[in-house]
Amino acid sequence: MSAGQSILITSVRPYGQDEAVDILVVDGAIAEIGTELAAPEGVDQLDGDGAIVLPGFVDLHTHLREPGREDTETVASGSAAAALGGYTAVFAMANTNPVADNSTVTDNVYRAGREVGLVDVHPVGAVTVGLAGKQLSEMGMMNAGAAGVRMFSDDGKCVDDPLLMRRALEYAKGLDVLIAQHAEEPRLTVGAVAHEGPTASRLGLAGWPRAAEESIVIRDALLARDAGTRVHICHASTAGTVELLKWARAQGISITAEVTPHHLLLNDARLETYDPINKVNPPLREESDNLALRQALADGVIDCVATDHAPHASQDKCCEFAQARPGMLGLETALGVIVETMVKPGLLDWRGVARVMSERPAEIVRLADQGRPIAVNEPANLTLVDPDREWVVNGADLASLSTNTPYETMTMPVTITATLLRGKVTARDGAIVGRQSR
Ligand code: NCD
Ligand code: ZN
């Protein structure tokens, strides 16, 4: 593994501080931070032009669709979307075909990610064989393989059998790996396609009650308590989940949680058109949930942002609401939505953005080389943001192979001007800068 590249980044503002500095990167690590630094001979220069610089983002919840649905996303196209979105590491969910429930699949995804070289791709292993919820997968083998799998999830499906979930947590404890739960009690969501509430009732859509999520959140908190281990909640979507997280933390339970950009910004008022672009799991809820989730993210009750980037083919989205697949794109629009919902209203400053999009996610999965401070001797995984340059979302222009963005025609308030992975520029002004080997 090569250490990385050397580059002089001029005129950037760490965490949005007022004064611009230069950052000299040598062999993939930050060697010097100061003013009027000179580039050593043969070292490239990148003009930051006063951009804000943040640690590269880490996404704990990405669906890359490889293997099995390479028509909708591949490791390469998803890596490009991630780099353009400011990400330097993504966790690729296990609900592929075949399922990532063995080390052959997880190692292949890992190697594909390295080959593309735009972002660190960490495969997530399935908790149960075939995501069937019956038998634990060989977590130890996946952890011991080349991919070193450190996070396991049946995401897309809930590990609903409480005894199996208990065993998974106990097994994970021994391996010191993370179980991430898609919290959905399936007996409460049979046939459900939208948030259970007045809107779904009026529109005649079958409802997915908040209790389906919350009952699993509290159950898993108690199971983690008894197992003496940690558990992570995927895509928290309700105000009630926020209250349960607070309660569990107050008991000293080791529970972490993520929220998606779409659950912060969008709600079931969008369903009036019956456009399946708005269909997602868990469903878009109500404005009161949006507000509670924003406050929880600001307060640290919810640890981090995760995109749940879920590409789907147009034929699986442009159909009757009940038939459409749930899920929406997220990687390329995540920062814009976080600025809109969190930074503009004053709930987070740029330090806070670094915390929820980079530092906390890296800590949750114990990545040593991501989510690090912008400081000398730290790896140069960096994202440059122009806080004053807007752009308009056009699904067809996104790097993802799919176009199912709910933000079509929406103006994003900020632009990512560059992303660097160990000093190598992976994205620059909306374009991918090329592959690298590591
Ligand atoms: C995800 C997908 O399409 O794989 N869909 C979704 O609506 N979020 C699965 C998931 O994250 O639950
Ligand atoms: Zn899920």
Residue with tokens 């560059």: 418
11 CA from centroid of ligand 1 (Å):
40
pLDDT at res. 143: 98
pLDDT at res. 268: 98
pLDDT at res. 436: 44
Pick the closest to residue 165 from 212, 227, 211 (CA basis). 227
pLDDT at res. 150: 98
Of the residues 22, 220, 289, 308, only one is catalytic, namely: 308
The Cα 184–Cα 388 span in angstroms is: 39
Q: Return the best residue to mutate from 281, 285, 309 for the ligand 1 pocket (most ligand atoms within 8 A of CB).
A: 281
Residue 438 has pLDDT above 50, yes or no: no
> How many DSSP H helices and E strands does the chain contain?
13, 20
Torsions phi, psi of 39, nearest 5? -75, 125
Domain spanning 7-52+377-432 has what CATH number? 2.30.40.10
Question: 125: number of CA atoms within 13 Å, CB side?
Answer: 31
pLDDT at res. 3: 65
Residue 292 has pLDDT above 80, yes or no: yes
Annotate 245-310 with DSSP letters as a single string: HHHHHHTT--EEEEE-HHHHH--GGGGGG--GGG--SSPP--HHHHHHHHHHHHHTSS-EE---B-
The Cα 163–Cα 267 span in angstroms is: 34
Q: Is ligand 1 within 6 A of the CB of residue 158?
A: no
Residue 38: C-alpha distances to residues 23, 44, 58, 77, 128 (Å): 10, 11, 31, 36, 54
Bridge partners of 285? none
Residue 1 has pLDDT above 60, yes or no: no
- Render pLDDT for 196-218 as a digit per residue (tens, 0 to 9): 999 999 999 999 999 999 999 99
Annotate 173-199 with DSSP letters as a single string: HHHT-EEEE----GGG-TT--EESSHH
pLDDT at res. 435: 58
The Cα 338–Cα 387 span in angstroms is: 12
- Render pLDDT for 240-289 as a digit per residue (tens, 0 to 9): 999 999 999 999 999 999 999 999 999 999 999 999 999 999 999 999 99
Q: What sign for the dihedral angle of Cα 397, 403, 407, 412? A: negative
Position 434 confidence tier, pLDDT thresholds 50, 70, 90? confident
- Asked if domains 7-52+377-432 and 56-365 share a fold, the reply is no
Q: Is ligand 1 within 6 A of the CB of residue 156?
A: yes
Give a three-class secondary structure readout of 369-431.
CCCCCCCCCCECCEEEEECCCCEECCHHHCCCCCCCCCCCCCEECCEEEEEEECCEEEEECCE
Q: Is ligand 1 within 6 A of the CB of residue 361?
A: no
- 308 classed as catalytic: yes
59 is in an annotated binding site: no
pLDDT at res. 4: 86
Q: Which ligand is nearest to the CA of 325?
A: 1
DSSP secondary structure code for residue 35 in this structure: S
310 CA from centroid of ligand 1 (Å):
6
Mean pLDDT of the chain: 97
- Render pLDDT for 83-138 as a digit per residue (tens, 0 to 9): 999 999 999 999 999 999 999 999 999 999 999 999 999 999 999 999 999 999 99
Domain spanning 56-365 has what CATH number? 3.20.20.140
Residue 384: C-alpha distances to residues 94, 282, 307 (Å): 30, 31, 19
- Render pLDDT for 306-327 as a digit per residue (tens, 0 to 9): 999 999 999 999 999 999 999 9
420 CA from centroid of ligand 1 (Å):
28
More confident residue, 312 or 437: 312
85 is in an annotated binding site: no
Q: Which ligand is nearest to the CA of 93?
A: 1
What is the domain partition of the chain in residue ranges? 7-52+377-432, 56-365
Rounded to 10 deg, the angle between the 239-250 and 287-299 helix axes is 30
Cis peptide, bond prior to residue 361, ω within 30 of zero: no
Q: Is ligand 1 within 6 A of the CB of residue 182?
A: yes
327 is in an annotated binding site: yes
Percent of residues, the chain, with pLDDT higher than 70: 98
Instruction: List the end-to-end C-alpha distance of the chain, in Å, as a whole number.
Output: 5
Percent of residues, the chain, with pLDDT higher than 90: 98
